Structure 1
Amino acid sequence: MKSHFQFSNKQRNGIFLLLAIVVMVQCVYWFAPKIFASSKVDFPEDKDEIETFRKEIDSLRMVEIENKKPKIYPFNPNYITDYKGYTLGMTNEEIDRLHKFRATNQWVNSAKDFQKVTKVSDSFLATISPYFKFPDWVTNPKPKSQGYSNSYSNTKKPKTYQQKIDLNKATASQLRKVYGIGEKLSERIIKYRNKYKGGFISDIQLSEVYGLSPEVIERIQNDFTVKTPRAINRFNLNTATRDELVTIQYIGYEVANNIIEERTLRDGFKSLEELTKVEDFPIKKFEIIKLYLQL
């Protein structure tokens, strides 16, 4: 044992230094937390401000939760698919009733009609009916205009097709013989006709001339008609591409896309009149647009 405790001076100094370091570390371990704890500064709490921040955080959290919820966008209930009906919460029986009704080529034109056909509950109808979007011709029907009638139109005998003058060859002076056509209106008709090489396609294009009322147009058609229509490209409605559709007057890219989407849903159009059911379709220009289409 004696040999284990025989150290040189350098070794003895090293042992003492190591012991001193150990003692210092132990002192720091025990006394430092108490020193820092006693020096901690207590800041006064503003409870009102903290509560305001808490409420703001809660409101932001609720907004984020609402934003993550599935959203329902306006839709036409006539075109509810199986998947769409399932996501809305409809039962299979309710969806089948709607599809069976639509198979008869009938239309749902109001929330009341929708409930009558599908037999959904009042509470469910109140939930989804605010999202129903029907075409403008359903929600804002235009009153039928009264036919023009006076002694002039009653006394004039209608002319046959052979007796009428070709509208594409009529002169301004000939047009001015029609009651209600003056110098300016006759010039507008000629100017519109000359915009296109070959002139008018059909009598319906008279409605495109600014200032011509339906009554005046009717009187023009008593004496004039298009006998030599200009040649145009007519597209097959069920095969036309988007780029072909946008070349038609009054059809833009958005309407063309809607037509193609509707065509896909219907598995092809059965008549040109079905175009009026397309979303955002310019119904007032239907007679002009259908000049360029065929089935």
Structure 2
Amino acid sequence: MINIKSYFNYNKRQRNGILFLLLIIVLLQLVFFFVDFSNKNSFEVSNTQLIAFEKEFDSLQKLNFLSKKFEIKPFNPNYITDYKGYQLGMSTKEIDKLLLFRKTGKYVNSKKEFQKVTGVSDSLLLKISPLFKFPNWVSKQKKKSKPKKLINLPLEKRELNKATAQDFFKIGISEYVSARIVKYRNSIKGFYFEDQLNEVYGLNDDNCKEILNHFEIKQKPIIQKLNINEATFKEVLALPYIDYELTKKIFTYKNKVAEIQSIEELKKIDTFPLEKFNRIALYLFAK
């Protein structure tokens, strides 16, 4: 059996060595406890210096962003977004004006009209307008030169309801709008009143005056009227100037009174468009 006691027997020299080692350990502990090893010359940054540094960093970052070259391809200026407007150099106010104009359902069809709506400067317009790309029909219309007005037009005005799109084109109306006049005239079975010209989309007051300088209604169109008491819902709805809501109101009133005695009774209908009565009366009668 191993004598365990022999492991703990030390001579004097060994005991002195152990004592000296313990002394060194105690001294080292005291040094670490009482001596400050932190760096007294540590770098301290004040709040003012930190804010100044952040501002300088932000400005450099913004400068780097603005210095980037964005590849912008031809585009329709009617669909400029906030981000694209920023890329082009437009201000927030100028972009908002365009977006507000588009909300009305209108479009800009030229550089001049774009500047009028947005208010951009001449220098910015000169820079970005080469990238504008309008629809094909707008481009074709611009390429065609405005037709010269006939010098030797007859003094007597011609029949408005028989004029062709070419006739309107010859007096200065654009080809696109001229075709629209004829199409609208056919949809209402002919112009009965001269001011019905104002109902044609795209035809302004000056155009209407120019047309009436050369044309007039000499013979009223013959319109086959519907008997309001016998007509179906679908037949009334198909008539000009009458939409779905008005058709419902007419038939509700007719069911209420059993039979409409006079077309004038329609005026009694709640919210009936009185300003359109003379036009609606062209297509309906009561019997």
Please state which band the TM-score falls in when normalised by the shorter chain. 0.3 to 0.5
Give the TM-score, by structure 2 length: 0.34
Select the structure of larger CA radius of gyration.
2
Give the TM-score, by structure 1 length: 0.33
